[in-house]
Amino acid sequence: MNAVEQCAIRVKDIYNTFDGSHDFLHIERVLANARQILKTEVDANQLVIELAVLLHDVSDPKYSQDKQQEQTILNELPITEEERVAVKQTIAAVSYRGGHELEATTIEMKIVRDADRLDAIGAIGIARAFTFGGAKDRPLYDDVLNVQSYEDEAAYRQAKGGTITHFYEKLLHLKELMTTSEGRKIAEGRHAFMLQFLDQFKQEREGQL
């Protein structure tokens, strides 16, 4: 059993304790996105990318109180210390952090970031947004759309706005933040679908349809 297979078995049960927006199905989709992008980025380290995808949410503070879970699993895998460091650095660059993200300085960081963000937009992204909002008892939408920018990651994490507001604060920005050519290409169609959905939602909410 190789390191990726071992890691997948180790993390599956962890992710399946999370809500449906961040379960193991999310990880499988992000893996598929990363492998698609990898076809156009031949110099990237596939092992680092796939392990980073598998581990990128296991210590997410939205779900886990164990900040060392990621490191614990990494230490169990048959990889080098250099590879462990590369995986950790790649994971650190994934999160949006309310617009205060770290710079993606390697191709591995860029691929994993794009792969994860592709799963946050389009039809799947819409479904995930409302699944997460429901799990956190957030309203579908606010009476008045109040789009904010956040001074730091902590303020972003504490926001309690409606799910529709989240589209305008984050999801509609992701297309322009893609860092690979393949990521940008895939994002175009998914972004367009979200705009169509939001237009339909607005008209239905206002009783126009």
Q: How far apart are CA 1 and CA 103, in angstroms?
A: 34
What are the DSSP E strand ranges found in the chain? Answer: none
| Degrees, nearest 5: CA angle 146-98-169 | 30
Instruction: Assess whether pLDDT exceeds 70 at residue 98.
Output: no
pLDDT grade, residue 151 (50/70/90)? low
CB-CB contact of 47 with 34 (8 Å): no
Mean pLDDT of 98-107: 83
In angstroms, the CA 27 to CA 109 distance is: 16
Report pLDDT for 51. Answer: 98
Question: How far, CA to CA in Å, does 103 sit from each of 119, 133, 197?
Answer: 20, 28, 31
Unique residue bearing structure tokens 């895939």: 186
Share of the chain above pLDDT 70, in %: 93
pLDDT category at 157 given cuts 50, 70, 90 is low
What is the pLDDT, as a whole number, of residue 153? 67
What is the reported pTM? 0.93
- Point out the least confidently predicted range of 74-83, 158-167, 198-207: 158-167
Instruction: Tell whether the model's pLDDT for residue 49 goes beyond 90.
Output: yes
Question: For residue 121, is pLDDT > 90?
Answer: yes
Please report which confidence band the pLDDT of residue 148 belongs to, taking 50, 70 and 90 as the band edges.
confident
- On average, the pLDDT of the chain sits at 92
Average pLDDT over residues 8-23: 96
| φ and ψ at residue 182, rounded to 5 degrees | -70, -40
Stronger pLDDT, 150 or 41, i.e. the higher one: 41
Q: Contact, 172 vs 194, CB < 8 A?
A: yes
Distance CA(6)–CA(100), nearest Å, equals 33
User: Where residue 19 falls among pLDDT bands split at 50, 70, 90?
Assistant: very high
Stretch 162-180: mean pLDDT: 95
Residue, of 65 and 61, whose pLDDT is higher: 61
CB 204 within 8 A of CB 182: no
Residue 120 has pLDDT above 70, yes or no: yes
Return all residues near 207 (Cβ < 8 A) that are at least 6 apart. Answer: none
> pLDDT grade, residue 101 (50/70/90)?
confident
Q: Which two tokens stand for residue 80?
A: 């080098």
To which H or E segment does residue 21 belong?
Answer: none
